[in-house]
Amino acid sequence: MSTHDPGIPEQRTSPSAPIDATVVPRYAGDGTFARLPRLDQLPEADTVVWGVPFDSGVSYRPGARFGPQHVRQSSRLLRPYNPALEVLPFSARTVADAGDIGVNPFDIEEAIGTVETAARDLAGTRRTLLTIGGDHTIALPLLRFQHSLHGPIAVLHFDAHLDTWDTYFGAPYTHGTPFRRAAEEGLIDHAHSMHVGLRGSLYDRLDLQESERMGFAAIHARDFIRHPLDELIERIRARLGDRPVYVSIDIDVLDPAHAPGTGTPEPGGLTSRELLEIIRGLAGLNVVGADFVEVSPAYDHAELTGLAAAHAVYELISILPPAR
Ligand SMILES: N=C(N)NCCCC(=O)O
Ligand SMILES: [Zn+2]
Ligand SMILES: [Zn+2]
């Protein structure tokens, strides 16, 4: 049997149809994301999912280096049709899994360089890159790459944390500092960037003001209590406008009840349902790339975190604009 027998009639036209789960059971076969073809099987793919197993930038619990394989494992249940958006995401886009790259776990600056180079090699000017981390340090080289294509970029950052802090133990490149470095380097579109899901304790009352000065508007997790989701989605859309948008999703934006498998959990977060619906609400915007970071499988239970992350990737693929 062909490993990529699409089975379902509407899917037959798509070269990136996932393996048909009615033919090969979901728990069997290659462990690519959503059981999509590998990039070497589908070099013409316009959209690439890849993994960056790096967690040397974490400040608390480790383990996000095992994130990519965990999210792939949890993505086996994804089906080809997305009813919420009425789209076949793997037909609308041609999607392949490029596997994981090897990065130096003992030299953060070298690792950052490796990620930027690999992003450029994988995506060129043509492909949309969806990166599974890894800790949040990797957003910096990914933004450097996006900036090289688009100039200052509107960043939609889902996170419990600001990640605009300055240094940890004197180290400038960590998972708590990528967006400050990005702002210093002029990578961020100051008028169109936004944090969503902020909460928890800070180091200083000035932390929020500083992040605002770096160009980030903010929707806090508490805002979800008193404002309807559609209103918040409208606020996000108004902020991003028609700019090229890079989406960075730290899975700890979700409440630990929905995503326990992460390194710096903060209570009072979003539900999986809220996150998925916000991503759906980005349909029609000019999303040019995304990362999904901070999944640490050793702290996960019942695949809650892996499933949430895999579905977030799926919804993100579903809202991508038509391929260039
Ligand atoms: N990027 C994530 N997940 N966390 C940053 C937390 C930094 C800190 O320990 O204060
Ligand atoms: Zn975080
Ligand atoms: Zn983060």
Q: Is 189 annotated in some ligand binding site? A: no
Supply the pTM of this predicted model.
0.96
Closest atom of ligand 1 to CA, residue 60: 9
pLDDT at 3: 44
Question: Mean pLDDT over all residues of the chain?
Answer: 96
> Strand pairing of 245-250 and 95-100?
unpaired
192 among annotated binding-site residues: no
Q: Which residue's C-alpha comes closest to atom 9 of ligand 1?
A: 59
Please say if the pLDDT value at position 5 is more than 60. Answer: no
Domain ranges of the chain: 33-319
Q: Which one of 163, 167, 201 would you pick to mutate in the ligand 1 pocket, going by the greatest count of ligand atoms within 8 A of its CB?
A: 163
Spatial distance between the Cα atoms of 53 and 118, rounded to a whole number of angstroms: 13
Q: What percent of the chain has pLDDT over 90?
A: 94
> Is residue 159 part of an annotated ligand binding site?
yes
Report which bound ligand comes closest to the CA of 61. 1
Beta bridge partners of 158: 196, 249
Rounded to the nearest 5°, which phi and psi values hold at 155? -105, 125
Q: What is the pLDDT of residues 217-259, one digit of tens each?
A: 999 999 999 999 999 999 999 999 999 999 999 999 999 999 9
Residue 186 has pLDDT above 90, yes or no: yes
Residue 10 in this model has a pLDDT that exceeds 90: no
Atom of ligand 1 nearest to the CA of 136: 1
Report how far residue 9's alpha carbon sits from residue 16's, in angstroms, rounded to the nearest whole number: 14
% residues pLDDT > 70 (the chain):
96
The pLDDT of residue 29: 87
Q: What pLDDT band is residue 274 in, cutting at 50, 70 and 90?
A: very high
pLDDT the model gives residue 4: 47
Residue 180 Cβ inside 6 Å of ligand 1? The answer reads no
Q: Does the structure show a pLDDT above 70 at 273?
A: yes
Q: Looking at ligand 1, which residue's alpha carbon is closest to its atom 3?
A: 264
CATH of 33-319, one of 3.40.50.1980, 3.40.50.1000, 3.40.800.10, 3.30.43.10: 3.40.800.10
Whether 175 lines ligand 1, by a CB cut-off of 6 Å, is yes
pLDDT digits (tens, 9 = 90+) for 56-97: 999 999 999 999 999 999 999 999 999 999 999 999 999 999
Ligand 1 atom with minimal separation from the 178 CA? 1
Check whether 2 has a pLDDT greater than 80.
Answer: no
Closest residue by Cα to atom 7, ligand 1, is 176
Any known ligand binding at 161? yes
Q: Is the ipTM of this complex over 0.95?
A: yes
